[in-house]
Structure 1
Amino acid sequence: MNNSATPPLPRSAYLGGLAIAIGGAILFSTKAVVAKLMYRYQLDAVTVIAFRMLFSLPVFASIAVWKMRTGAPLSKADRWRIVIMGAVGYYLSSFLDFLGLQYISVGLERLILFLTPTFVLLISTLFLKHHISRKQWLALAISYAGIVLVFLHDLKGGGADVALGSTLVLGSAMAYAAYLLLSGEMVQRLGSLRLVSYAMCVSSVACIGQFFILRPAHLLVQPMAVYGLSLVNGIFCTVMPVFMTMMAVQRIGAGTASQAGMIGPVSTLFLGALVLGEPVTNWQLAGTGLVLAGIYLLSQKK
């Protein structure tokens, strides 16, 4: 036995970390349901995402200021990288996601977004010349088969709207995959908390600025229910999942935490049925099962 090996994590600590990871995945997935509820007040994606960032910005800005005072100054190159990452990874991906949610069900939206790891793999293969093993190709095929199954099922009822919404959310997943690839090296140097808080501040400024450019300021005056939903969207579906995921990664590792995140599409499917009245069909369950199976296989890659 190797005495230098890391001691096993106590069961109670492991289960606690797993619970945090699952809770974070469920809360993050809930943003799609909250957005759908806000659309019932005749709001559009530009307004919904602006309200989301208005409520989450103070938290991320506070952390950014704290890290700015305690951390080493950023180089000019790092500042530009963070601006690009915030614009692509959070602003563009969030905007396309919320825009797509106007046309498709929350179940299909979550399944498409859950393909982000496969996009990371494909981009790495195409542009960074990384090798894809047979097991990874199998995982990709299974995951995309699940998406196609649910897409074809929803296409019968929605037609062109489903195709448009799915394309927008697909673009969201690809934008976030690009962010993950860009952030890899910077996370090691700056730390995830500092990098995320800086990138979220950039994204918030972009989303709020977009609102004031494209929409009249009087749209900020909304019923109290909109403010309540925006608070839930900004704090419980944005800020808390970020910190919960980080805590889980520290306790149980990134691999286990990412596998726990597989609960996301399933929770969204049933939350959509419970809160929004969206039907849960056998086709959707089968497609969800295929996507989860594919991502699970992908996560087993050492």
Structure 2
Amino acid sequence: MSGSTKHPISLVGFVVTLVGAVLFSTKAIIVKLAFAGTHTDALTLLTLRMLFALPFYVVAAFAVSSRSGNVKLTGKEWVLVLALGVLGYYLSSLFDFIGLQYISAGLERLILFLYPTFAVFINAYFFKQKISGVQRVALLLTYVGIGLAYFGELAIDSSNPNFYFGSFMVFLCATTYAVYIVGSGRVIPRTGPTKFTAYAMLAATGGIFVHFAIMGETANFQAQNGLWLYGLLLAVVATVIPSFMLSYGLKSIGSNNVAIISGIGPVSTIIQAYFILGEKIVMEQIIGTALVIAGVILIGWKRKPTPVLEEVTA
């Protein structure tokens, strides 16, 4: 049976989602710094990230499961939550970390930012979820802005033999993360954001640990030039805090709006890459940044009067 649930764009939901997107955008910067400053590989760095994040999600899972109002999930719901965790935080993160070894942070953001488009159209095609006029305008502004902002990045030297492989890995990341965004947006109203995030991340952590046990080298864990610090920063700043923020946003304002507001992420990465990694900012990026911010503000400006998103729940 189907129903309709509307999501007004609340100020709190808007701000929490915005901050979460900015924190998530620090991930590419930290990963590039780790690769440049150490001799680590993608799997080792990803394993460290989840190793440090694990205690937070164990505590969160225990806390929500101990509450009197805890929702008991069916077997089908458990499978869905765990599958989304593996897809959205294990596979997508692995693809992304591998890709970042071969392409710049700016180009990674360009490719990865395809995921909001995927999420919006997955909802529209599979769940017959209407794309509102406000969302259409915001998407147009955001993607025109992203295209302009990364115009210079598209001219990157592609003579690197792993350039196309790295780009393809990040494309896979965008695809799997879009599926996660859509799926979690439909499961969270039933499970609650904290419980969903905790168990999805535990499932992802399990997948990463199994992967490392089979293919990883424990010698790579040797502390070298701040490797463990990079892992800690990735865990807390770029994983734990923003994952709970975006899960809250998914419940309070809906997956389409989270996808659009997250457009601020690439803009944040451009600024961080300029100051931290020394990447150049060109005029196209400045104009594109203004358009992206305009799209984000448009979503926030429409937060009070009426809901702008309808979700169909199974």
What amino acid maps onto 1:285 in structure 2? I
| Residue correspondence of structure 1 range 1-302 to structure 2 within 5 A | 21-40=17-36, 41-70=38-67, 71-130=70-129, 140=139, 143-149=142-148, 153-159=152-158, 161-223=162-224, 225-245=226-246, 253-254=252-253, 261-292=262-293, 301-302=308-309
Deviation at 1:283, TM superposition (A): 2.9
Deviation at 1:202, TM superposition (A): 0.4
| Shift in CA distance, 80/284, structure 1 to aligned 2, threshold 3 Å | same
| Shift in CA distance, 54/184, structure 1 to aligned 2, threshold 3 Å | same
Identify, as 1 or 2, the structure richer in helix. 1
| Shift in CA distance, 206/248, structure 1 to aligned 2, threshold 3 Å | closer
Q: After superposition, what is the alpha-carbon deviation per residue over 1:222-265, rounded to whole angstroms, capped at 9, x for unaligned?
A: 32611111111101211122334466789xx5378777644322
Q: After superposition, what is the alpha-carbon deviation per residue over 1:164-184, rounded to whole angstroms, capped at 9, x for unaligned?
A: 433322321221111122223
What amino acid maps onto 1:63 in structure 2? A
Matches of 2:260 and 2:139 in 1, distance apart?
Answer: 16
TM-score by length of 2: 0.77
What amino acid maps onto 2:103 in structure 1? I
| Shift in CA distance, 285/211, structure 1 to aligned 2, threshold 3 Å | farther
What amino acid maps onto 2:39 in structure 1? Q
What amino acid maps onto 2:197 in structure 1? V
Q: Is the 8 A contact 1:28 1:241 kept in 2?
A: yes
Matches of 1:208 and 1:173 in 2, distance apart?
Answer: 22
Secondary structure in 2 matching 1:48:
helix
Secondary structure in 2 matching 1:158:
coil
| Shift in CA distance, 200/145, structure 1 to aligned 2, threshold 3 Å | same
What amino acid maps onto 2:65 in structure 1? M
What amino acid maps onto 1:201 in structure 2? L
What amino acid maps onto 1:121 in structure 2? V
What amino acid maps onto 2:115 in structure 1? T
Matches of 1:132 and 1:247 in 2, distance apart?
Answer: 21
Q: Is the 8 A contact 1:108 1:150 kept in 2?
A: no
Matches of 1:18 and 1:180 in 2, distance apart?
Answer: 16
| Shift in CA distance, 25/148, structure 1 to aligned 2, threshold 3 Å | closer
What amino acid maps onto 1:38 in structure 2? A
Structure 1 unmatched runs, 5+: 1-8
Say what the alpha-carbon RMSD is for the aligned residues.
3.3
Matches of 1:216 and 1:121 in 2, distance apart?
Answer: 39
What amino acid maps onto 1:43 in structure 2? T
Matches of 2:29 and 2:245 in 1, distance apart?
Answer: 20
Identical pairs, percent: 36
Matches of 1:174 and 1:75 in 2, distance apart?
Answer: 27
What amino acid maps onto 1:168 in structure 2? M
Q: After superposition, what is the alpha-carbon deviation per residue over 1:108-131, rounded to whole angstroms, capped at 9, x for unaligned?
A: 323443443221122223333445
Q: Is the 8 A contact 2:111 2:174 kept in 1?
A: yes
Matches of 1:292 and 1:112 in 2, distance apart?
Answer: 19
Q: Is the 8 A contact 1:154 1:162 kept in 2?
A: no
Structure 1, 132-141 or 226-235: larger mean CA deviation: 132-141
Matches of 2:223 and 2:211 in 1, distance apart?
Answer: 18
Q: Is the 8 A contact 2:92 2:176 kept in 1?
A: yes
